[in-house]
Amino acid sequence: MLALFAAAALAASPEFSFGFTNQDGTLLLALSPVNNAAGLTQVVCDGRALEVRYLREQAKGEQDTGRQTARNFTQTKGALFKVKGAAAADALCLLGSKAAFKKRTLLSVTTETGSCDEKTSALAGSLTGRDVERCFSTGSFPGGRLAFASYKLDGSSALAAVLVVPEKGTPAVRKFPAEWERGAPSCWRADDGCEFDASSYRVAFAMSGTAGLELYALWAGAEGENAELLRVKGLALEVAASASRYWSPE
């Protein structure tokens, strides 16, 4: 079963595509759909920007396991790219054209831990209209902070959320609703035990530019990994583009 992608269908982007790297980070395979593969010349993996060059369409191998991982890299069908230098191994990255990245400034995200302050906890409640069960900081970037919140059940309605709190401007939230059932094996992701593991969802980097503030988040699960390009729109962190890769069992 494919990993669950909570409250968001996979979304294509006219500007960006997604891809994963091989075992030494020197090659990358794009995940479908791909818009103009030859025009994708740059990639950001774990916050590091590199150049890429489109090589060819790689055919599906006879020993393909259906997993989109470094171990199955040579057997997976997709648009194949050469990475200039080397990216992180087996990483899910953001691909784009030189023009797309030129309109944006890359912002590094620093991991943080600790409970939210009172202001952030209050925002977590007011942005969702739900009673906060727990709230803690997850990271910071130039110009803002990130936080995660989980909420008390409202009947069978469960909720988790990621918040961005800028130093200037209004905060925004990415909501993760789910239907809770006692003893159920999954709510948000396959085999999550109906507990949202905040450590499995991380913002790898952020970007600022003509499109406003954007966050690139990776969400690991038991059976796969999702990538989301989130864009601030009013009080919401909207999913502007997304992709998913299947990786387990392998």
pTM of the model: 0.92
Tens-digit pLDDT profile for residues 26-58:
999 999 989 899 999 999 999 999 999 999 999
- What's the pLDDT at 148? 98
- What's the pLDDT at 10? 55
- What's the pLDDT at 11? 63
- Measure the N-to-C terminal CA separation of the chain; round to a whole number of Å: 13
Tens-digit pLDDT profile for residues 81-101:
999 999 999 999 999 999 999
Mean pLDDT of successive 10-residue stretches along the chain, which has 250 residues: 40 85 98 92 96 98 97 97 96 96 97 94 97 97 97 96 94 96 90 92 96 96 95 96 90
